[in-house]
Amino acid sequence: MCQESTGEKHMAKAAFLGLGVMGYPMAGHLQSAGHEVTVYNRTAAKAEAWVKEHGGASAPTPREAAAGAEFVMSCVGNDDDLRSVCLGPDGAFAGMAKGGVFVDHTTVSASVTRELFEAAAELGISFVDAPISGGQAGAENGVLSVMCGGETEAYARAEPIIDAYARICRRIGDSGAGQMTKMCNQIAIAGLVQGLAESLHFAEKAGLDGRAVVEVISQGAAGSWQMANRYETMLDDHFEHGFAVDWMRKDLGICLDAADETGASLPVTALVDQFYKDVQKMGGGRWDTSSLFKRLKSAG
């Protein structure tokens, strides 16, 4: 489905539901790639602004946005938000034709993903869970990592459409596998950010130049994306970049619930989740996740 017989890419009629900091640019990349995009956002003014900037069209309900679309993408807030745009008389499923593919980029629980997979299947619709990593910058630059779960055929159809905003896109397994992979991503990030925060805090307390320290250690085994992209803003006490603490706590809650279900042991993740709770108490719910460093500084 990726290529037409002429060798040209298939241009699809698509809908995009949810125009937050991630969805807004992602939908823009779809339109720029030549797809025919209709957007829906809970706040209509955001959808109108998107149309003014990118072209395409907007619709007042998910159902109307999804009408006639081959592919419907969503990027909303949480499990309940996702249910609300999918189900009910004004939900996207009610507007989609049999054979359509719904691709969800929200980070949600694997249980709601499987619930919606089954609901879609009863209507002859395919559902692919496709959470994303790469932050706002990744969305704006069209270089997100997309981890997918769902049926092989549905993924194969959706992958060339997702390519408009992805650096890498992979099917990991059946429905829910994408969400479980995103949990692996968040678990890894939580430990990395705390480790980086402690390293910089230690350097500061030892009277070292943090920038000089990172210049050296980043070239060795300690190097990471977090170190390369966050150490300077952390040292500058600037936490307005990337993924908010409130959203990270939502995701880590999903991780810890899933760990209980699967029997996985996540002691570091549970600890860092409590550290993020401390950041929220400091008034930093909208700070980015690197604000773990600010927590350490405030503790002395």
Say whether 250 is catalytic: no
The residue ranges of DSSP E strands in the chain, in sequence order, are 13-17, 36-40, 57-58, 71-74, 101-104, 126-129, 132-133, 144-149, 166-173
Contact 132, 144 (CB under 8 A): yes
Contact 134, 145 (CB under 8 A): yes
Candidates 182, 205, 277, 294; catalytic one:
182
Residue written as token pair 């706590």: 249
| Number of DSSP helices (H) and strands (E) in the chain, helices first | 14, 9
Contact 103, 66 (CB under 8 A): no
* Residues, the chain: 300
> C-alpha dihedral over 92, 95, 101, 107, to 10 degrees?
0
What is the Cα–Cα distance from 264 to 9, expressed in whole angstroms?
42
* Nearest-10 crossing angle of helices 79-86, 110-122: 10
Structure tokens at 197: 């925060």
Query: What does residue 250 show for φ and ψ, rounded to 5 degrees?
Result: -60, -45
What is the Cα–Cα distance from 112 to 80, expressed in whole angstroms?
9
The residue ranges of DSSP E strands in 27-183, in sequence order, are 36-40, 57-58, 71-74, 101-104, 126-129, 132-133, 144-149, 166-173
Which of the residues are catalytic?
Answer: 182
